[in-house]
Chain A
Amino acid sequence: MSESWPAITMQVNGENRTVRVPPMKRLLDVLREDLHLTGAKEGCGEGECGSCSVRMDGELVNSCLVPALQAEGAEIQTVEGLASNGVLHPLQESFLACGGAQCGICTPGMLMAAAQLIERNPHPSMEEIREGLAGNLCRCTGFMRIFESVLEAATQTGKSQAEQAHHAR
């Protein structure tokens, strides 16, 4: 039976992965069950809460709404791929310092959304931060610490880029 299912290959956090699953299996379930990457969470199953958010070909998507077949050939990044070589991403540092995570269940999705935001917009205004995170529901924080975390990470990223530029001269 499973032989009739297509082999689907995608790049996940930089690694090639192939799974043989029903084509209408949700990408969220493929990540969690087949690839054992349980960072992305199911909060609603209807694309409302964003706790399943991952990056697909550089774009934020709700993985609960992506059928596996449509992830064929895609580059997927999950929260497990945010830190590199054990070094936390500036957002992970700032969330820790500023209290951006309380219960933590929305955090993986929130980090992916925030990462996309500051990648595209290194100096986001408060309005832009609110819009960028509008699809990620957090019931614990009231969002204030999260906004501060994003601002802090943007500032730090800006600083380190300036330092790098300085040292490069």
Chain B
Amino acid sequence: MSTAAKTRIVGASVPRKEGVDKLVGRAVYVDDIERDGMWHGTTVRSTIPRGRIKSITYDPGIDWSEFAIVTAADVPGKNHIQLIVADQPCLAEAQVNHCDEPIVLLAHPDKHKLREAVGAVHIDYEPLSAVLSIEESERQEIMVLGESNIIKEFTLENGNVDEAWVQAAHIVEGEYRTGAQEHLYIETNGMIAEWSAAEGLTVWGSLQCPFYVHKTLKSVFDLPDEKVRVIQTETGGAFGGKEDYPSTLAAHAGLLAMKSGHPVKMVYDRMEDLAATTKRHPSRVRHRTALDKDGRLLAMEIDLATDGGAYSTLSATVLSRATLHSCGPYVCPNIRVRARAWATNMVPYGAFRGFGAPQAIFAMERHMDEIAATIGMDPVELRRRNFLHQGDQNATEQLMREPVILNQLLDRALAESDYYSRRERFARENATGHVKRGLGIAAFYHGSGFTGSGELYLNSLAGVEVTKDNKVRVMVSNTEFGQGTNTILTQIAAETLGLAFSDVEMAPPDTAVIPNSGPTVASRTSMVVGRLIERASLQLLEMLCNDGGPGAPATREQFFAACNRYRDAHGEVRSLCRYEAPPGIYWDDKTYHGEAYGAYAWAIYVAQVAVDTRDYSAEVEEFWTVQEVGRVLHPVLAKGQIEGGVAQGIGYALYEKVVCQDGRMANNQMTNYIMPTAQDVPPIHVIFEEIPFKYGAYGAKGIGELPHDGPAPAILNAIRDATGVSFKSIPLLPEDIFAVLATRELAEEPAIR
């Protein structure tokens, strides 16, 4: 086991593998590519949230013979995107179920003519009543999906919740809401498709999961594996927003390529990307909690609801993760979580960093502070009394076999933020100042990798090969989109093989070349896929050793010499490994009991927030993060992940609101969808603790999503500390703070303050 040994490359901040290209303008994103004879494509979309399509007419003023026009009738195979449930049409046929649903595709060599043409296609609808919120869906008066509007439901139970209420010294209730959130990757969605009867379909584009796209294209075009090729271009940010949507866009570009006989590029402008693509699931979480007189949790009853939008997409798995993160890092003998994902006529929601955990953790950690305030206990102490420790069982009866050092992390976070003395000082200053300051904390975990049996189901295959020109290539379907995949995986290979970092490169993210090592999601790349690369590298050394030559290569030169000998004998030098679950993993999909995740990263976050009572704005002034992550494979990259996630979490809490009118996103411009700028982000402190996880690459656990879980509850807890007002809904804008504070001001001093 390599985790204890000293390492040369793993654990060092080596230069980003594709770093120089990105710095000199050489990195090639999809919109940088032009292909000979390329046409442009665009989409005609629904303008209503629900209705039957009565007719499609094309203005006679346009010469339509110049255009390629595609509708659902042109789909050669199945008109559905292949995901968990194949219910989302590639193109709407008889009915539309959300605003901006794609109906007609157009292609033309001239971008301007294309723009004109979109306005010249008229869709006549018979509008139907639409469902635009969780509450409307729950009423089950209008059926958007199936017979209940329920996309998915889970019940997680433990012990006996119903009996616990009688024994409780305290019962505290609360309802918490989170809004939609847009990924706002700075590069919008884009694809280029090329079709020929001989080669089949090839697509290039901005995406996270080449084989997800591959699967949908095979189905939409009714093609075998080898006739579909998906190539990822340099991707300018994703955060989950390019997990499933690219399958739709690739199918669209492919259909136009097929119809037109030309390569077709489709790149969304920002307005279209904002309105029409996936966002984070809005949620409503209700807590009812029983505690004993010492503030120990006796029972938790949780009702968790998400808005899934018009089609299933990933709502089931988002709900799953939300459920499994809903009870917090606490011991509680009696639990009932009822979770439901509701269908509405909103644009389908999808994956976004955290994937249900930010929603669930917001509610849990806000609720802990509400409990503390209600029972008159320090919120820090309340958490300490209930933390999970090694040897405890969590909500799914998973035994915490690994060390759980929450108390230690908390101590560190309190020390770093000077928590108690700052709060004391603020309490004094707040009495007279017009700016009120407070500190708030959040305690949480994030499960790495796919839930339960998910990794087994993925059955990932990954490895390394050695080329004739003495380069080692890492063979994975996991993609780089800024988080450092290319660097981490090549580090691991170089370390394990005893080579220089420059000896290892990534095989091109091309489904014709790489094995399927699963999607780049769920914080699994370093831990799960990295471990496969580690194992495959060890396996390669073994293969070379047993090849009848001089034995295990001890130097770089010997390694490559051994590879050449091996290649002479066997034709290629390649070592692949399949995923193996850590031993003793047990998970029951029906009861939702067992080992939900192989590993957990643990964290305590602290926010210092200032609320200005003149303009009612809340600003994060400083932020501390303390997390236990197994092993830091690359300090600069790891820091970057935490800082970036915290910035997004701050946006989620205080700035980013998706404003909808009649099911359409009304603020679909960057000037009106507000993310924090360089002047809005506070100093963010990042502290890592490491308890190596035996089954992760070099001891690593996942960290990509963890940092988005903590900021929102910490921030709203800080606002409660600062103002005494309990806000339970995000995004929390100045107008929302005003609505409460202003009433309070008027009540206290009618004319003068």
Asked if A and B form a direct contact in the complex, defined as CB atoms under 8 angstroms apart, the reply is: yes
- Interface residues of chain A, those whose CB is within 8 Å of chain B, are 32, 37-46, 48-49, 51, 78-80, 82-83, 88, 92, 95-99, 101-108, 111, 129-131, 133-147
Asked if A103 and B185 make an inter-chain contact with CB atoms under 8 angstroms apart, the answer reads yes
Q: Let me know if A48 and B639 touch, CB within 8 A.
A: no
Is A96's CB under 8 angstroms from B187's CB?
no
A32 neighbours in B (Cβ, 8 Å) = 32
Is there an interface contact between A104 and B679, defined as CB atoms closer than 8 Å? no
Q: Which of B498-506, B588-596, B667-675 contacts A (4 or more CB under 8 A)?
A: B667-675
Of the candidates B15, B185, B235, the one whose C-beta lies within 8 Å of that of A139 is B185
Q: Find residues 203-250 in chain B having any chain A CB closer than 8 Å to their own CB.
A: 234-239
Known contacts A105-B29, A145-B636; A96/B19 CB under 8 A: yes
Known: A92-B24, A105-B186, A139-B186. 15 other contacts (CB 8 A): A38-B29, A43-B186, A96-B16, A97-B15, A101-B22, A102-B644, A106-B236, A108-B25, A131-B679, A135-B677, A140-B640, A141-B643, A142-B640, A142-B645, A144-B643
Supposing A104-B482, A134-B678, A139-B185 touch, asked if A92 and B237 sit within 8 A by C-beta, the answer is no
Tell whether B647 is near chain A: CB-to-CB under 8 Å.
yes
- Binary contact track B194-209/A, C-beta < 8 Å → 1, others 0: 0000000000000000
B184 contacts the other chain (Cβ, under 8 Å)?
A: yes
Question: How far does the alpha carbon of A70 sit from the alpha carbon of B427 in the complex, in Å?
Answer: 56
Q: Are A95 and B23 in contact (CB under 8 A)?
A: yes
Give Cα A78–Cα B26 distance, bound, in whole angstroms: 12
**What CA separation (Å) do A71 and B636 show in the bound complex?**
39
B241, chain A: closest CB distance, angstroms = 10
Task: For the complex formed, measure the closest distance between the CB of B14 and the CB atoms of chain A, giving whole angstroms.
Answer: 10
B681 at the interface (CB under 8 A from A): yes
Q: Which residues of B contact A80 (CB under 8 A)?
A: 24-25
* Chain B residues with a Cβ under 8 A of chain A: 13, 15-16, 18-25, 27-29, 31-32, 183-188, 234-239, 269-270, 481-484, 636-637, 639-640, 643-648, 669-671, 675, 677-679, 681, 683-684
- In the complex the two chains form, is A45's CB within 8 Å of B270's CB? yes
Chain A residues within 8 Å of B679, by CB: 130-131, 134
Contact of A145 among B15, B32, B185, B639 (CB under 8 A): B639
Residue of A101, A105, A144 near B684 (CB, 8 A) is: A144
Interface pair B23/A42, CB less than 8 Å apart: no
- Total A-B pairs, Cβ < 8 A: 165
Chain B residues within 8 Å of A97, by CB: 15
Min CB distance B129 to A, Å, is 35
Residues of chain A within 8 A (CB-CB) of B640 are 99, 102, 140-142, 144-145
Across the interface, do B23 and A139 meet the contact criterion of CB distance under 8 Å? no
Residue of A nearest to B13 (CB): A99
With a cutoff of 8 Å between Cβ atoms, the chain A residues found around residue B184 in the complex are: 139
5 CB < 8 A contacts A-B: A42-B31, A46-B270, A102-B483, A102-B644, A143-B647
Point out the residue from B23, B187, B675 that lies within 8 Å of A101, measured CB to CB: B23
What are the residues of chain B within 8 A of A143 when measuring CB–CB?
643, 647, 678, 681
Q: Which residues of the partner chain A approach B186 to less than 8 Å between Cβ atoms?
A: 41, 43, 49, 51, 103, 105-106, 137-139
- Would you call B24 and A141 a contact (CB within 8 A)? no
Q: Which residues of A contact B185 (CB under 8 A)?
A: 103, 105, 139
Q: Say whether A48 contacts B670, CB under 8 Å.
A: yes
Q: Tell me, in angstroms, the Cα distance from A105 to B239 when the chains sit together.
A: 14
Contact partner, B639, options A41, A136, A137, A144, Cβ 8 Å: A144
Decide if A48 touches B671 in the complex (CB within 8 Å): yes
B648: A residues at CB distance < 8 A: 139, 142
Q: For residue B269, which residue of chain A has the nearest CB?
A: A45
- The reply to whether A43 and B644 form a contact with Cβ atoms under 8 Å apart is no
A136 nearest CB across to chain B (Å): 7
Say what secondary structure dominates the interface of chain B.
Answer: loop
The docked-state distance in angstroms from the alpha carbon of A104 to that of B647 is: 17
A103 touches B24 (CB 8 A): no
A44 & B270 in contact (Cβ 8 Å cutoff) = yes
Residues of the B chain whose Cβ atoms lie less than 8 Å from the Cβ of A104: 18, 21-23, 27, 234, 236, 482
Contact B636 A98 (CB under 8 A): yes
On chain A, the residues within 8 Å of B188 by CB distance are: 43
Partner of B187, one of A43, A92, A98, A99: A43
Task: Tell me, rounded to whole Å, the shortest Cβ–Cβ distance linking A39 to chain B.
Answer: 3
Q: For B683, list chain A residues within 8 Å (CB).
A: 144
Contacts of B236 in A (CB 8 A): 41, 103-106
Closest to A144 in B: B643
Is the pair B677, A137 in contact by a Cβ cutoff of 8 Å? yes
Residue from B25, B28, B484 within 8 A of A79 (CB atoms): B25
A107 with B670: in contact, given A43-B187, A142-B647 (CB under 8 Å)?
no
Rounded to whole Å, the gap between the CB of B478 and the closest CB of chain A is: 15
Instruction: Say yes or no: A92-B481 contact (C-beta < 8 A), given A102-B644, A131-B679, A137-B186.
Output: no
Across the interface, which residues of B come within 8 angstroms of A142, CB to CB? 640, 643-648, 681, 684
Determine if B16 and A99 form an interchain contact, defined as CB atoms under 8 angstroms apart: yes
Chain A residue contacts of B32, Cβ below 8 A: 32, 38
B481 contacts which chain A residues (CB < 8 A)? 103
Q: How far is the CB of B34 from chain A (nearest CB, A)?
A: 8
Q: Is the CB of B15 within 8 A of A103?
A: no
CB nearest to B646 among chain A residues: A142
Q: How far is the CB of A104 from chain B (nearest CB, A)?
A: 3
Q: How far is the CA of A92 from the CA of B684 in the complex (A)?
A: 23
The docked-state distance in angstroms from the alpha carbon of A101 to that of B15 is 11
Is there an interface contact between A103 and B237, defined as CB atoms closer than 8 Å?
Answer: yes
Find the A residue at minimum CB distance from B685: A144
* Among B13, B29, B239, B678, residue most surrounded by chain A Cβ atoms (within 10 Å): B678
Name, among A79, A103, A146, the residue most crowded by chain B CB atoms within 10 Å (CB to CB). Answer: A103
Closest B residue by C-beta to A95: B23
* Contact yes or no, A82 B482, CB < 8 A: no
Closest to A82 in B: B24
Expressed in whole angstroms, the Cα–Cα distance for A129 and B235 within the complex equals: 27
- Kindly report which residue of chain A lies nearest to residue B638, judged by CB atoms: A99
**A38 CA / B234 CA spacing, docked (Å):** 13
Determine whether the beta carbon of A96 is less than 8 Å from that of B15.
yes
Q: Report the Cα distance A79→B27, complex, angstroms.
A: 12
Chain A residues whose CB sits within 8 angstroms of the CB of B643 once the complex forms: 141-145
Q: A137-B675, A139-B239 are in contact. Are A107 and B684 (CB under 8 A)?
A: no
Closest residue of chain A to B239 (Cβ to Cβ) is A139
Report B639 CB to chain A, min CB distance, Å. 7
The interface residues of chain B lying within 8 Å CB-to-CB of A146 are 678
Closest residue to B647 on the A side, CB-wise? A142
